[in-house]
Chain A
Amino acid sequence: MKYSYIKPRPKSVFTLEVKLLSTFFSISFLMLFMTYAFLLFKDYSFEKSLKSIEKRDTQLHTSLAKMKEQIVYIEKERALAQSIQTENTVLKDSITNLFDLVPPRITLSTAMLGKKSLILKGITPNKDVYNFMLQAPLRSIFHETYSSFYPAGNGWMYFVSTNYIDEGNHEN
């Protein structure tokens, strides 16, 4: 016996409302989880970036420290080289001046130059020539000047002149 004129339709749990609801929530969940995944990925990426920055920073720091040491060392080398060159030039000028100081009538046989001393040995026609032409300029340069003479035999005199800069400090 039939109670209806239409054929019975199979009933499903997924009604239109359930489908609509599940679609809506699926999209919502998807968006939420995607956002969360994005944040997690970014978190990881930031951590990685920070680590790489830290590593690069350490590398730069080491390299910079090394370069600074190199700069200081080169500057020291330059300063030392320049000071040696200056000292050499000063030494050359001092010796030039010393030999220019000796008049043509006086002949030197020995000249010993120390840091603060000068010993000259030579021969002079007479004491006056030595005193006026050599001792006078030496006195203007050195604090202490000692001279001694002894005859050369031909009427000329041998002389030894010892000169010091800085009283009481007779070092070479």
Chain B
Amino acid sequence: MKINIPRPTLYLIILSLLLFIFVLVFSFTVLIPKGKEYRKERITVKKAEKELRRYQDFHNETTTELQDLQKKNRNIIIAFDKVFNQERFEKQYKKYFSSLQLSKLATPVKNDEFLSYEVNTTSQMSSPKSFYDFIEALNKADWIIGVNFPIAFKRDGELIKSSFTMKVYCADQNTTKEK
């Protein structure tokens, strides 16, 4: 039996077949792998976004923690950052003594991440209570100051002469800048 297909129809069928094959090949070799890749990437991006959100939350928590800490310890931070001013100290704390002299600051010593200066102090006072008041006031000072041993008290007529060493602590500017 002979099938008689007209030539234009045959061309049409061949063209249709070619186009159909192209569609199939394009779909299976390009589109479907790309689609799979897209799904994978979408999951990856979603995961990364989720991780980033968690990290951002943690970052926000840490920021709040730091801000709270800075707020609560504002005075301490300022005190550590303040450079010791001998004249100002004498002016502020002279009221506790009949006389107060500070020796020149020695070269600062680096201690861990802080610098400390030794200040030799000699003073005269009418009663030990002045010294107690001075130490109490020192705890509220503009600087971080510790009174160190040895402390010597000597009777000097009606007054008590005292000599002791104070250690002034401040933040190491190099370390602070790095932070």
Contacts and interface: CB of A to CB of B under 8 A. Distances in A.
B132 A88 contact: no
18 contacts: A17-B9, A21-B15, A28-B23, A36-B34, A39-B37, A39-B38, A42-B38, A50-B44, A54-B48, A67-B59, A67-B66, A70-B66, A81-B79, A84-B167, A91-B149, A95-B128, A113-B150, A115-B149
B132 A75 contact: no
B57 to A, nearest CB: 10
Interface in B97-116: 112-114
B73 A15 contact: no
Interface of B: 8-9, 12, 15-16, 19, 23, 26-27, 30-31, 34-35, 37-38, 41-42, 44-45, 48-49, 51-52, 55-56, 58-59, 62-63, 65-66, 69-70, 73, 76-77, 79-80, 112-114, 128, 131-132, 135-136, 138-139, 144-147, 149-155, 167, 169, 171, 175-176, 179
Nearest to A79: B76
A75 B69 contact: yes
Nearest to B35: A39
B31 A78 contact: no
Given A35-B31, A67-B62, A76-B112, A113 B151 contact: yes
B62 A32 contact: no
Nearest to A78: B73
Given A32-B31, A71-B62, A84 B144 contact: yes
A36 B31 contact: yes
Contacts of A29: 23
Contact of B113 (A18, A40, A71, A73): A73
B69 A111 contact: no
Nearest to B136: A92
A87 B146 contact: yes
Contacts of B41: 42-43, 46
A25 interface: yes
Contact of B12 (A18, A40, A63): A18
B73 A74 contact: yes
A1 interface: no
B152 A60 contact: no
Nearest to A85: B139
A170 interface: no
B58 A172 contact: no
A43 B69 contact: no
6 shortest A-B CB distances, which residue pairs? A84-B146, A92-B135, A46-B41, A111-B153, A39-B34, A109-B155
Contacts of B42: 42, 46
A68 interface: yes
A147 interface: no
A87 B151 CA distance: 14
B82 to A, nearest CB: 12
Q: In the complex, which of the residues B9, B12, B58 has the most CB atoms of chain A within 10 Å of its own CB atom?
A: B12
A96 B151 CA distance: 13
